[in-house]
Structure 1
């Protein structure tokens, strides 16, 4: 990327921010005023001194050309990753050579880079040595898997009894019982080493009393949870791919299945979901050559952003390995052969009817699927009463936006990008509607992040 003199856009830089507050603070520092001795190298290093509240400026250095993704170092006390100073410096760098000229890295920046290279080489050496070590005991691994399966079976059996008690007593009693009983049930699923069941129990327990129609939604979730329980208890009778899907939905960890696919992967979207225990980052990739869509998942402790960050609109030459399971798009990012660089391509689009059909087809393989990725071509964001929809510019069909999408600032960015004209939109299409994540103007233009 930087070897060819190509710099990121401000939108791609801000996509790295761990939260909205960091984006706002970083944007304020993306001007020359607080910076001194800023510079960059042909190898992809950016550095600078940022004036803070203390007597000494903060030393900030970034390796934007690292094949494993951007790496940051700042002397500020922030625990966010990247911090606002790193974001501000990258925004300054995106402005061009005038404000961040090519120069020789100072000693403090060079020391950090040298240390990183030494540690990376040590890791490669250790990994190579480990690959030649004796394999783990397969019999011991089999016994551990059997013990965990027994615990999950006990948990699923207990959960089935809990659902039967709920239906026997009537759904109205769920609102009176409160959330505490469901949280206790979820904790027992965690003890049974079935985190997927625990997550669905918590979602179910949060539904009573959430507005008109909650009993219908509660009954639907009970049915899906019952189906998952029965799928686990009868997994030996299921087709292999569906059984793999059930194991993944229950929460068993899966390993990549099959040979890795090397492609030029376009980063379509990146967003985080946060709860009291965990921050989950979802990154959607699109293979320009293979036409495949893949989902990368990474996790961080509560309050901390996951380390894997891939700015939207960039593309990387890398290998991706898919996980097993019918209807599963999760994948693991493997070896990267070059740093990410701006991409001039976008995925081919479809109509709103085709996107809805894709979701319906996917439910045959995975009944618990909330949504599928889809790129809509030539759609216009249109208000309908208090709601919004994406209407086909060349037809008379439309997809409603999900309630979550209607409450995000990205909706107004999408409306501004469109201005009443057709746009291309990537997002997730499911039973609640469509959630737009990234958009492109019709014709040529850079990706605009909406989440």
Structure 2
């Protein structure tokens, strides 16, 4: 039996309008559901998928256990159905199907008629919509006033409790799979293909733990990462085990660490608290493909507060997100932080027109950057990198790699292997010309990822040509 999901939030795109990734994300019932879209499986997990105009899509979503969920959506009525019996609406499978549609995925073939099961649901939907219009009332309208608010709060509490139970079940299953893998030895991990990891990741998505699903997929990529992979594999297994154990013992953790664990498994919260108004300098902007979503990361530095903030926005695969802030731009704006010890924030009201400045922000030494990353690890052991501005460093060869060395003390930090194959490294070398310069990037256990640099000519703080983006 299909579960017809209930009332949906409003979206910005009207009937017949072109939907965007932001429209799909706006339908997600909470922040964690939006984040879950990053952990969903590959396009090949869908079969029998299709679309018919205007705005009707359907498909069969494999679960990883040999079964499939029937999922369909009518984007004109903003209504969905799925056989997964998920407690929230729309469910992750419906959101994934819509994301395939807005990304023009080949899996959604144009078809004149939907299959019988989808046609049956559409017929019922039309009947319910007509009956609601005849009665002059909105479908699914709930109680209003204080009673309505209390009922909605109680329903939200119940949903959160059910989700926590599902995550706990997923964490327990993942612990067992890790134990079985290590008991049998690492040879099995080197087998070609990612079937084991995709199935395990799919199970974590079904458990509503997108953070665990993401780490499982990263674990599956380690055996193909080259020499020394067993040590890296064990490190990642240990971190995954630590996250599982932390979730299963969440009630015994200090409040800040418990908030970090919730965030790492996928229970992120919306931005809240007092907004910080400042003149924010755009330090870096770059896009990261993540399955069927492109994540845009924008780093900001508050010139008055000295705070660093990370803005995230999303676009469909192959399409850039709408928000764009050129490196070197200064905006007078409010930024609202997300709860917890991270740096993520939401850009709020802007005042006046953006300006530009060639002057770099204050920086420190390589030792300062490594120390800041170490302190951040105390609050978040799963943190891969931390933002840092290095002042007066020179790029130099180090064996087969490169490093950034302090001009005064000679202390150095290696440049990440991923940066060595990009043109940005040679931009950095050419900009330096052997002279010290200021570099912004992300410092972590893999080294330093340079994202932007200021010419040595800016050493007088007046600035010559502004920052150079390295990504």
Does the pair score TM above 0.5? yes
Deviation string for 1:14-59 (max 9, x for gaps)? xxxxxxxxxxxxxxxxxxxxxxxxxxxxxxxxxxxxxxxxxxxxxx
The 1-side partners of 2:422 and 2:242 are apart by 33
> Is the Cα–Cα contact under 8 Å of residues 243 and 325 in structure 1 kept in the other structure?
no
Q: 1:450: which partner in 2?
A: 470
TM norm structure 2: 0.66
Matches within 5 A, 1:164-203: 164-176=179-191, 178-203=193-218
SS in 2 for 1:303: coil
Q: 1:330: which partner in 2?
A: 344
Deviation at 1:135, TM superposition (A): 5.3
Alignment gaps of 5+ in structure 1 = 1-78, 81-133
Deviation at 1:160, TM superposition (A): 0.6
The 1-side partners of 2:470 and 2:244 are apart by 36
Q: 1:382 aligns with which of 396, 421, 444?
A: 396
Q: 2:295: which partner in 1?
A: 280
Deviation at 1:177, TM superposition (A): 6.5
The answer to whether residue 371 in structure 2 is matched with residue 360 in structure 1 is: no
SS in 1 for 2:277: strand
The answer to whether residue 445 in structure 2 is matched with residue 431 in structure 1 is: yes
The 2-side partners of 1:141 and 1:340 are apart by 40
Deviation at 1:345, TM superposition (A): 3.8
The answer to whether residue 317 in structure 2 is matched with residue 298 in structure 1 is: no
SS in 1 for 2:388: strand
Deviation at 1:391, TM superposition (A): 0.6
Deviation string for 1:345-371 (max 9, x for gaps)? 421110011111111111111000000
Deviation string for 1:114-162 (max 9, x for gaps)? xxxxxxxxxxxxxxxxxxxx85821111111111111111111111111
The 1-side partners of 2:327 and 2:441 are apart by 13
The 2-side partners of 1:437 and 1:188 are apart by 35
The answer to whether residue 427 in structure 2 is matched with residue 413 in structure 1 is: yes
> Is the Cα–Cα contact under 8 Å of residues 360 and 438 in structure 2 kept in the other structure?
no
Matches within 5 A, 1:17-416: 137-176=152-191, 178-326=193-341, 328-416=342-430
Alignment gaps of 5+ in structure 2 = 1-101, 104-147
> Is the Cα–Cα contact under 8 Å of residues 371 and 428 in structure 1 kept in the other structure?
yes
Deviation at 1:403, TM superposition (A): 0.4
> Is the Cα–Cα contact under 8 Å of residues 358 and 467 in structure 2 kept in the other structure?
no
The 2-side partners of 1:372 and 1:166 are apart by 31
Could you say what the CA RMSD is over the residues aligned between the two structures, in angstroms? 2.1
SS in 2 for 1:378: strand
Paired residues in the alignment total: 322
Deviation string for 1:84-139 (max 9, x for gaps)? xxxxxxxxxxxxxxxxxxxxxxxxxxxxxxxxxxxxxxxxxxxxxxxxxx858211
TM norm structure 1: 0.69
The 2-side partners of 1:405 and 1:142 are apart by 45
Deviation string for 1:417-438 (max 9, x for gaps)? 1000000000000001000000
The 1-side partners of 2:247 and 2:192 are apart by 28
Deviation at 1:338, TM superposition (A): 2.2
The 2-side partners of 1:140 and 1:249 are apart by 24
The 1-side partners of 2:229 and 2:399 are apart by 23
> Is the Cα–Cα contact under 8 Å of residues 241 and 324 in structure 1 kept in the other structure?
no
The 2-side partners of 1:204 and 1:245 are apart by 20
